[in-house]
Amino acid sequence: MLMSLSVRNFLLIDEAHLDFETGFHVLTGETGAGKSILLDALGLIRGERASAQQVRAGAKQAVVEALFSTDGRPEALQWLEEMGFEPAEEILLVREVSRQGKSLCRINGRTVTVQMLRDLAARLIDVYGQHEHQSLLQPDRYARMLDGYGDASHQTLLEEYRRAHDRFTRADEDLRAAQLGEEERLQRIDWLLFQLGEIRDLSPAPGEEEELEAEYRRLSHAGRILEDASRGYEMLDEGGQGVRAATDLVAEIVETVEGLVKYDPGLAGILEMLQSAAANLSEAAHELRRYLETVEADPQKLESVQERLHQLRRLMRKYGGSVESILESAATMENELSRLRNYEADLQERSKARTRAWEEMVSTARRLSLNRLALAERIQVKVQEQLRELAMPRAQFQIEVRWLGETEKGFRSDGADQVEFLFSANPGEPPAPLSKVASGGELSRLMLALKVVLADADDVPTLIFDEVDAGMSGQAAVVVGEKLVQVARRRQVICVTHLPQIAAMADGHHRIRKEQTEESTRTIVEVLEEADRIEEVARMLAGSTATEITRRQAQEMLERRAAAQSNSRLG
């Protein structure tokens, strides 16, 4: 929901801050006071066009900030995740307009494009009135509104269609990818044979790179290895130049300790360790001698190992960085080569798979379309009832569900239907698309009727109604107020109104007034407490200046509202 709206240096507003809670809120004020300015400010937040003329005279820039609570709304949270934002319980949308007309947009402090701001705002707030960027004038949203009215079985069918559409899309892409011309197919076979040939010629084995590296190190240092290993063997087993061999020294020590054990058996453990050391030294000398017999300098073998290691690493760079990736690439190419050599059979199988997916998608789409027709009929009847109660007894509302499944292009991710909302406010005029026939006030009342009927069909948490009371008075205005209260039980509702009957029913009340001096004119926004609300509703009842009679009437209206809310909570 919209938690707060701050506006600075925007048109006639030098600075205004509005706080909102859940429920139903109204904005009131005399004609020309500037109520529409706040809607224009919200228009900037919703991505509408900015201009230098919106900056207040004498200011460098205009700034509009709107703080929203996500309230766990899945669409807004999903959008944030997809766009790389951190999950957040609150979202701050900011729009700045410079004196030169340049615009800057921010979401939670991060600079974004106008389109990104528009996309997110559309998931948070909707305005119904004389605004061209509203959901009721966007036909691409009609199917979603219609589907939202459906029960659990309809939602299951919609999801079933989406899965069928995904399967057909994949099957179609697979078939298209396999459909090659004969010349292209032969060229591809030649290329695969070449690539596989260089892999087969080398025949790499898992772990071979490490083995080659070890062998290369041994061969490239063969001279040093022979010299050091020979010296070690001499020190172990041969001795020389007045130095006794290690095996001889240890054997002599063993003999000495054996004599000592005769006198002190407690030295038996030490004797065992020395005997073990003597055996280990003898074994080490034997193994080192065998190793010396295997080591030799071999320049030709060194060159061969170096060349194979070079060729192996060349293939590794080409096919993914490891011997395993070379072998995986070879297996993939083998499969493709087999498919290309059996092209006709593979193509036929893919074509059959596409046909099965197509038939399944078409069948599911037809069932979904029939469901939508039934939903449309039920919604039409209920909306007509609401319009009669909203002082539009002769208005006609129809939902047209047109089948587009005669061609493949007609199948989209949400079905094969074109959903259109048709409306006629006057008798004798056939219903036509909303954008061509409905005024701002008519759209507001129609959307109010739809929101009452489609209470949970739309995920947008904040609804703003402008001119919903146009041409109304008396009991009709009371009905409008009651319906706004009804919608506000599930959504936050903000309404710009001229009617006291509607203003008196609100949970929150802001008054907009114009203040003029010889030097300037500015618009001021005030939050009204109970006494101020009585005065404002009384003014609205009187049409100009409040009187004692209208004050008493206003107090009674507000008391009735408070009593109704209390009874509702008790109920």
Q: What is the pLDDT of residues 58-79, one digit of tens each?
A: 899 999 999 999 876 778 888 8
Q: 76 and 24: one domain?
A: yes
Q: 512 and 564: one domain?
A: no
Domain enclosing residue 564, as ranges: 529-570
Q: 80 and 112: one domain?
A: yes
DSSP for 51-76, please give it. Answer: -GGGBPTT-SEEEEEEEEE-TT-HHH
Residue 468 domain flag: no
CATH of the domain at 91: 3.40.50.300
DSSP for 325-340, please give it. Answer: HHHHHHHHHHHHHHHH
Report how many helices (DSSP H) and strands (DSSP E) the chain contains, helices first: 19, 15
Residue 153 domain flag: no
E strand or H helix at 35: helix 35-45
Q: Quote the pLDDT of residue 370.
A: 96
Q: What's the distance, Cα to Cα, between the start and end of the chain in Å?
A: 26
Residue 448 domain flag: no
DSSP for 105-131, please give it. Answer: EEETTEEE-HHHHHHHHTTTEEEESS-
The number of residues making up the chain comes to: 571
Handedness of CA 107, 111, 117, 120 (dihedral sign): negative
Q: 75 and 112: one domain?
A: yes
Q: Quote the pLDDT of residue 133.
A: 43
Provide Rg for the chain, Cα atoms.
42
Taking the CA atoms of residue 136, residue 139, residue 143 and residue 145 in that order, the dihedral angle to the nearest 10 degrees is -10
Q: 540 and 520: one domain?
A: no
Question: Which contacts of 420-428 are long-range, i.e. CB under 8 A and separated by 24 or more positions?
Answer: 420/139, 420/142, 421/136, 421/139, 421/142, 421/397, 422/396, 422/397, 422/398, 423/395, 423/396, 423/397, 423/398, 424/395, 424/396, 425/392, 425/394, 425/395, 426/394, 427/394
DSSP for 523-549, please give it. Answer: EEEEE--HHHHHHHHHHHHHSSS--HH
Q: Which of 340, 346, 229, 347 is nearest to 291 (CA)?
A: 229
Q: 513 and 552: one domain?
A: no
Cβ–Cβ under 8 Å, residues 246 and 236: yes
- 3-class secondary-structure state, position 135: helix
Residue 83 domain flag: yes
E strand or H helix at 9: strand 2-10
Sheet holding 521-527, edge to edge: 125-128, 462-466, 492-496, 24-28, 508-516, 521-527
Residue 307 domain flag: no
Q: Which of the residues in the chain have pLDDT under 70? A: 72, 129-136, 180, 182, 240, 435, 437-441, 455-459, 467, 470-473, 564-571
Q: Which residues pair with 127 in a beta bridge?
A: 464
Tokens matching residue 426: 């006057």
CB-count exposure of residue 180 (10 Å: 0-12, 13-18, 19+)? middle
Q: Quote the pLDDT of residue 107.
A: 94
Cβ–Cβ under 8 Å, residues 5 and 17: yes
Residue 234 domain flag: no
Cβ–Cβ under 8 Å, residues 107 and 85: yes
Residue 515 domain flag: yes
Residue 520 domain flag: yes
**Which residue carries 């609150």 as its tokens?**
90
Q: 517 and 540: one domain?
A: no
Per the structure, how many domains does the chain have? Answer: 2
The number of angstroms, rounded, from the C-alpha of 538 to the middle of its chain's C-alpha atoms is: 48
Paired sense of beta strands 396-403 and 417-424, if any: antiparallel
- 3-class secondary-structure state, position 424: strand
| Separation of alpha carbons 156 and 174, rounded Å | 27
